[in-house]
Amino acid sequence: MGKRILIVGGVAGGASCATRLRRLDETARIVLFERGPYVSFANCGLPYSIGGVIEEEKKLFVADAATFRDRFGIDVRVETEVVAIDREARQVEVRHLPTGEMRCEPYDALVLSPGASPVRPPLPGIDLPGIFTLRTIPGSRSIKAWITRHEARRAVIVGAGFIGLEMAENLVRLGLEVTLVEMLDQVMPPLDREMAREVERRLEAHGVKLALGDGVAGFHRTPGHSLSVETTGGRSHEADLVILSIGVRPESALAKAAGLERGERGGIAVDASMRTSDPRIWAVGDAVEVRDRILGGTGLLPLAGPANRQGRVAAESIAGRASRFPGVLGTAACGVFGLEVALTGASEKALRRAGVDDYEVVYLRPGDHADYYPGARPITLKLIFRREGGRLLGAQAIGEAGAVRRIDVIATALAFGGTVFDLEESELCYAPQFGSAKDAVNLAGMTAAAVVRGDMPVVQWHEPEGGATRWVDVRSPDEYRVGHLPGAVNVPLEEVRGRLDELRGLAGAGDLRVYCAVGQRGYLATRILLQHGIAVRNLTGGYFMASLGRS
Amino acid sequence: MGKRILIVGGVAGGASCATRLRRLDETARIVLFERGPYVSFANCGLPYSIGGVIEEEKKLFVADAATFRDRFGIDVRVETEVVAIDREARQVEVRHLPTGEMRCEPYDALVLSPGASPVRPPLPGIDLPGIFTLRTIPGSRSIKAWITRHEARRAVIVGAGFIGLEMAENLVRLGLEVTLVEMLDQVMPPLDREMAREVERRLEAHGVKLALGDGVAGFHRTPGHSLSVETTGGRSHEADLVILSIGVRPESALAKAAGLERGERGGIAVDASMRTSDPRIWAVGDAVEVRDRILGGTGLLPLAGPANRQGRVAAESIAGRASRFPGVLGTAACGVFGLEVALTGASEKALRRAGVDDYEVVYLRPGDHADYYPGARPITLKLIFRREGGRLLGAQAIGEAGAVRRIDVIATALAFGGTVFDLEESELCYAPQFGSAKDAVNLAGMTAAAVVRGDMPVVQWHEPEGGATRWVDVRSPDEYRVGHLPGAVNVPLEEVRGRLDELRGLAGAGDLRVYCAVGQRGYLATRILLQHGIAVRNLTGGYFMASLGRS
């Protein structure tokens, strides 16, 4: 008889672990416990199921219990909750939810994949009807039913993370008026604030009302099955429906009760083979703390991709193979009203939080493909790297096309410990529809490499100005007239060589800064001035980033 | 006074070199000679300009002589041909084409970026009116004018490389009947033949007539300004227009006459800093031979991306910086009637040609994004890697979406010397619209890793069958009924465990092979059988690849 392996939780990590185990060990007796009615469903699709983009709910079912049984010989027990672990006896106590029946199940190996639960803060009125979180298929049905039954017209979404934004888009699609309440002063917290601004503009352009920098104080019922959302800032938003998407919390209570070690953030602590502090117990997915490959230390990253790969690693470890989960970069993406928003590695604020300050940042706005071919659209790209040596730290990209692709490339370079010089030399696909001879990634590498090599000192949009600051706008007079930084002098790039004396005079004050639209002409001007002995810095991302960041 | 630097050729490599030089050396006197009337134009856009996708020809002009002068202080001389190099005197002889005037121009450094010229074989009738090559803007105008003037309805394109296919699509767009004559038995020579089959099906679906495995013997004029293209196979194709896109030849005559070393393929030989055998002369772009990063040795890769980066490296070298061009992977892409066709690294045939045989190949057909989200489309993906250790060698991808993105990721891993295990662990963007929790790249890595680890012995679609071969089709009976391999026994995956004795009997013959639609269920069956001591191999790419490859 083979090993008896119990798996707690049948979505993403748990399901991947179960099927990988079977491929490695035909003799293992594998039992998968799932508290809900379904295993292996696509929870990332729930907002789009609510919005009707995914028309048939059944599309969300990746594999059902019969498939697990017939293809993999896996015994799936749905609506069954594991309520306690007896580590000494190597058994778990399970409750069949429909009947309440309890039983004990022995194990040789136990895998915990309980996921994370949406945060539901203990605010006044939090339990009023019409206030939902989104995690499960029955949960999504409740939201759809509520919208229909109450002919909901106004929704308040609390929390502007990935799920909050996806819900905003999908509720707008259903014709609802949406207000997004977020405690931070930006949407999509993993992004840096100035990048989030572009997402916010897109949300507003589609009619979403943003209430940033404001928290929820409580909820009241109002006449006609409606709700009033009261904020800590003293405002009040009417709603027929409230979605709480404040974040998730690892479901580590079972592990905690069993005395398993946990990390600083409350997740289950695991080693590189996804093993917990008990050598017979593994844990994977949203409930565990994972190593941050950029910043070191561990943290939570509740995403499906890492969960799936962790499930595989745990299976391999249980099957006796040497297998290591390398940790996470934090690659993530979200669609927002036609924008691709994507990021990988450390954000600037995460670096600051971690006390890292020997980094540099460049912004650029290349096209997703050659600008001579129709339909090219800009990608706002932020690249973060070590000042010395140019090692990559992170990147963020936003655009109507091609942003995800560039972040995938940079994430790949990041995983190899790559530098800005590697991006500079990247040999990527180019055809007029698909890229440029100098791809956005090449341009990002070239721009950053110019900083690392000392060819282009940069100034950031948020750096304070002093009495010595002199701005020179190297765009054309027409561009200058439409709008420019306060006090900026217009010296079009083509005139820089002819007006060196004047520029030398401006630099005399000690803090000469140039800018153009996005940074390219500013770079050329910087090269001219530096070579003539005139100290200068180029505003990275140009007028575009200054406008976006300061808005 | 700064160095006097002459650059021969004002497109891609030459233009990049000139502007990079200026950024590094404000004092250099830079002169750019261009034989044609325009510098820095987007020659990759020419087919789309002919087809009307790019409506305004002026879009193709990246920068004109005035921009070079005003922004970069670069002296551009168009319609000026460099006819000889006097290395001893360090000067070149140039001819102003409109006037015929000759003059000598001295240099401290010389950069050759002459490009490559379309092959125009000395066939009977090759100089008849209506037979065109495509390289320049005036050339594209001639083609457009010919089509209009002669109301061309039928075109023959000779050579089915990138330009030939782009021209086919654009001429179809203009309403022409297109016949594509190609000497090889496949379109798009850098692809392996079985992958090219998918491109061929797409071409045929759009009405392009393929005449593969046939060469052109000559051309005749027929009544009414038409042409007849005679082939070596004895066929004859009527045409109102012929496009020759047989390939290009490096323009190394000038370098050869000057006694500069050339490589085996006739390109100019350069070192890693793009310096020729004369320390005062550099060469870049389509005319040079570059190191192949996968196979070693040098070869020709006439593409814009490498040319641009080579131009930068040469400029850096001239400016006294240590800079190295790392060689090429061979990343390339082409759009064909809505298909993205992309590749990187070595093809299987290039490996065989180089005598490499310790490689393995897997095929798969993942979706470009999660299949539960609408609009997911398959990507036919071929991954080539070392049998031992799993080091990546190359990849090819074809699909209506997402193919280019995956090749970009694999190209990035290739550049770092990555393995299939790196792809397995890639942390890429996932949101329902943009990818999958297990991305196509992850799946490719997982599939290949199963081969390297010995978990999944594979059989290729082209491996001959012997008397001992037994095929088992593990798809459903419905799929089997629609079509299956000759002699295959249907044992649906779900029945494998229950029919082990029967399968053991089939394996007794010694060469048991399983297959499914694309390879996934075959893999699961393989794992079951191997663990029960039954030797078996899985047909990689499944019935899909067998059908495609053998077609």
Show the domains of chain A with their CATH numbers: 4-116+249-318 (3.50.50.60), 131-245 (3.50.50.60), 338-452 (3.50.50.60), 458-549 (3.40.250.10)
B396 touches chain A (CB under 8 A): no
B422 touches chain A (CB under 8 A): yes
**d(C-alpha A516, C-alpha A106), whole Å:** 68
Q: Categorize the per-residue pLDDT at A450 as very low, low, confident or very high, splitting at 50, 70 and 90.
A: very high
- Name the burial class of residue B489, with classes exposed (0-12), middle (13-18) and buried (19+) by CB atoms within 10 angstroms of its CB: middle
Please report the number of interchain residue pairs, chain A to chain B, with beta-carbon separation below 8 angstroms: 234
Residue-level pLDDT at A541 = 98
CB contact under 8 A, A429 and B54: no
Q: Categorize the per-residue pLDDT at A37 as very low, low, confident or very high, splitting at 50, 70 and 90.
A: very high
Q: Which of B23, B372, B437 faces A305 most closely, judged by CB atoms?
A: B437
Closest Cα to residue B452, out of B424, B427, B428? B424
Q: Categorize the per-residue pLDDT at B223 as very low, low, confident or very high, splitting at 50, 70 and 90.
A: confident
Phi/psi for B328 (5° steps) reads -125, 150
Residue-level pLDDT at B453 = 97
CB contact under 8 A, A333 and B435: yes
Q: Which of B340, B373, B438 faces A48 most closely, judged by CB atoms?
A: B373
Residue-level pLDDT at A531 = 97
A396 touches chain B (CB under 8 A): no
Does residue A17 have a pLDDT over 80? yes
Does residue A190 have a pLDDT over 80? yes
Mean pLDDT of chain B: 96
First to last CA, chain B: 66
A146: its two tokens = 């509520």
**B483/chain A closest Cα distance in angstroms:** 23
pLDDT digits (tens, 9 = 90+) for B188-205: 999 999 999 999 999 999
**d(C-alpha B369, C-alpha A59), whole Å:** 14
What sign results for the dihedral spanned by CA atoms A181, A184, A186, A190?
negative
Residue of A nearest to B423 (CA): A412
Q: Which residue has 């022995």 as its token pair?
A: A106
A426 touches chain B (CB under 8 A): yes
pLDDT digits (tens, 9 = 90+) for A363-413: 999 999 999 999 999 999 999 999 999 999 999 999 999 999 999 999 999
Write out residues 212-271 of B within 8 Å (CB-CB) of A. Answer: none
Question: Within a 10 A sphere around the Cβ of A224, how many other Cβ atoms?
Answer: 7
Q: Are B203 and B187 in contact (CB under 8 A)?
A: yes
**ipTM of the predicted structure?**
0.97
Residue of A nearest to B492 (CA): A71
Read out DSSP for B467-502? TTEEEEE-S-HHHHHH---TT-EE--GGGTGGGHHH
Q: Are B14 and B311 in contact (CB under 8 A)?
A: yes
CB contact under 8 A, A408 and B408: yes
Q: To 5 degrees, how large is the angle CA B199–CA B202–CA B205?
A: 155
Mean pLDDT of chain A: 96
CB contact under 8 A, A305 and B405: no
Q: Are A63 and A15 in contact (CB under 8 A)?
A: yes
**A153/chain B closest Cα distance in angstroms:** 26
Chain B CB contacts of A424 under 8 Å are 309
Residue of A nearest to B61 (CA): A372
pLDDT digits (tens, 9 = 90+) for A141-177: 999 999 999 999 999 999 999 999 999 999 999 999 9
Q: Name the pairing type of β-strands A281-283 and A109-112.
A: parallel
**B59/chain A closest Cα distance in angstroms:** 5
Does residue B528 have a pLDDT over 90? yes
Buried/exposed A135-161: b ≥16 CB within 10 Å, e otherwise = bbbebbeebbebbeeeebebbbbbbbb
**d(C-alpha B409, C-alpha B406), whole Å:** 5
Q: Categorize the per-residue pLDDT at A533 as very low, low, confident or very high, splitting at 50, 70 and 90.
A: very high
pLDDT digits (tens, 9 = 90+) for B150-163: 999 999 999 999 99
Does residue B301 have a pLDDT over 80? yes
**d(C-alpha B297, C-alpha A380), whole Å:** 39
Residue-level pLDDT at B120 = 95
CB contact under 8 A, B25 and A531: yes
Residue-level pLDDT at B224 = 74
Q: Which of A416, A425, A532 faces B326 most closely, judged by CB atoms?
A: A425
What sign results for the dihedral spanned by CA atoms A10, A11, A14, A17?
positive
**d(C-alpha A363, C-alpha A444), whole Å:** 8
A409 touches chain B (CB under 8 A): yes
Q: What percent of chain B clears pLDDT 90, i.e. is strictly above it?
A: 97
Q: Is B334 a catalytic residue?
A: no
Chain B CB contacts of A72 under 8 Å are 524
Q: Which of B24, B411, B427 faces A305 most closely, judged by CB atoms?
A: B427
SS3 A166: helix
CB contact under 8 A, A48 and B429: no
Residue-level pLDDT at A474 = 98
A313-322, B223-232, B347-356: lowest mean pLDDT where? B223-232
B322 touches chain A (CB under 8 A): no
Mean pLDDT of B92-107: 98
Residue-level pLDDT at B225 = 72
pLDDT digits (tens, 9 = 90+) for A485-509: 999 999 999 999 999 999 999 999 8
SS3 B108: coil
> Which residues of B80-166 form beta strands (DSSP E)?
80-86, 91-96, 101-106, 109-112, 116-118, 131-132, 154-158
Give the single-character DSSP code of A432. T
CB contact under 8 A, B438 and A334: no
**A229/chain B closest Cα distance in angstroms:** 30
Q: What percent of chain A clears pLDDT 90, i.e. is strictly above it?
A: 96
Write out residues 438-497 of B within 8 Å (CB-CB) of A. Answer: 438-439, 441-442, 455, 493-494, 497
pLDDT digits (tens, 9 = 90+) for B391-418: 999 999 999 999 999 999 999 999 999 9
Residue of B nearest to A374 (CA): B54
**d(C-alpha B130, C-alpha A79), whole Å:** 74
Mean pLDDT of B225-252: 95
pLDDT digits (tens, 9 = 90+) for A213-259: 999 999 999 987 799 999 999 999 999 999 999 999 999 999 999 99
List CB contacts of A38: < 8 A, sequence separation 6 or more.
A10, A61, A64, A78, A136, A137
Q: Name the pairing type of β-strands B290-291 and B298-299.
A: antiparallel
Largest CA distance in chain B: 88
A305 touches chain B (CB under 8 A): yes
CB contact under 8 A, A413 and B408: no
pLDDT digits (tens, 9 = 90+) for B6-58: 999 999 999 999 999 999 999 999 999 999 999 989 999 999 999 999 999 99
- The catalytic site residues of A sit at 44
Listed in sequence order, the DSSP H helices in A397-538 are 403-415, 420-424, 440-452, 477-482, 500-507, 520-531
Q: Which of A307, A335, A433 faces B434 most closely, judged by CB atoms?
A: A335
Residue-level pLDDT at A107 = 98
Write out residues 7-36 of A within 8 Å (CB-CB) of B. Answer: 12, 22-27
For testing the chain A interface, which of B61, B408, B474 should be mutated: the one with the most A CBs within 10 Å?
B408
CB contact under 8 A, B44 and A426: no
A519 touches chain B (CB under 8 A): no
**B69/chain A closest Cα distance in angstroms:** 9
A322 touches chain B (CB under 8 A): no
